[in-house]
Amino acid sequence: MFDFTGKTVLITGASGALGTTLTARFSEAGANTVTAARTGYDQLAAQLHGPSLGVPLDVTSESDWTDAIHQTEARFGPLDILINNAAYLRVGTVESIPLDEFQRVLDTNLTGALLGIRAAAPSMRAAGGGAIVNINSVAGLAAAPDLVAYSSSKWALRGLMRAAAKGLARDNIRVNSVHPGIIETPLAYGPDGNALVPVDDFAIPRNATPDEIAHFILFAASDQARFATGSELIADGGFTLGPLT
């Protein structure tokens, strides 16, 4: 369906459930795939069939970003696609969330994306353009009182996406976001094993598979979406419609 032959993509949070699916799908579509994560990046890259590179990356570290882009360019040339997928979630309300955890969520989900866009833009400019996809959430579209830090970071990420899209438009760099619903990953469950957000009463009463969401992300990164920038693609199974009953 998608052809990324000759394109170089860097995926953050690559060792997570959605990240591993994304790396596999981009690799299968012919991309030079850069797996970026705190741990497991080399092992993940080694499992891919196409050209690949594993790089260590703490998305909150500006020097890590500089090194990751440098390694990418040394191996494959300029970067074409950035997938800002790394995320951190901590359950808590406005009254219960520890302040240091609130800041950690913002640092990972918002500042990490900013640093990624900042680091990737010069490389994409040298390539003549590129595509950046921020992985957002339905928590960035609807109130999530028990996920106040996560929701705050994702709402702010919408503003960052739009500002970056406008600021980089004349460099032929597109910036879009994908808002998944609840994905069947460990992040969907609390420490007690119960679902953080029950979906039984919604239009499509199940969690999404990582593959279903990956297809939306590949579309946003592909030339098939070349007329879209500053856009929000929602793949939530009707979650934002509200319960049917």
Rg (CA), the chain: 17
> 117 to each of 101, 163, 164, 165, how far by Cα in Å?
24, 11, 8, 10
* Whole-number Å distance between alpha carbons of 35 and 87: 15
Angle at 200 between CA 199 and CA 203, to 5 degrees: 80
Closest by CA position to 179, among listed 201, 148, 158, 149: 158
Residue 150 bears catalytic tag: yes
Identify the H or E element spanning 241. Answer: none
Let me know if 107 is exposed, middle or buried by CB neighbors in 10 A (0-12, 13-18, 19+): middle
* Whole-number Å distance between alpha carbons of 2 and 215: 9
Count of residues in the chain: 245
* Whole-number Å distance between alpha carbons of 98 and 106: 13
* Whole-number Å distance between alpha carbons of 191 and 237: 25
Could you say which of 41, 88, 150, 189 is catalytic? Answer: 150
Question: What residues act catalytically?
Answer: 150
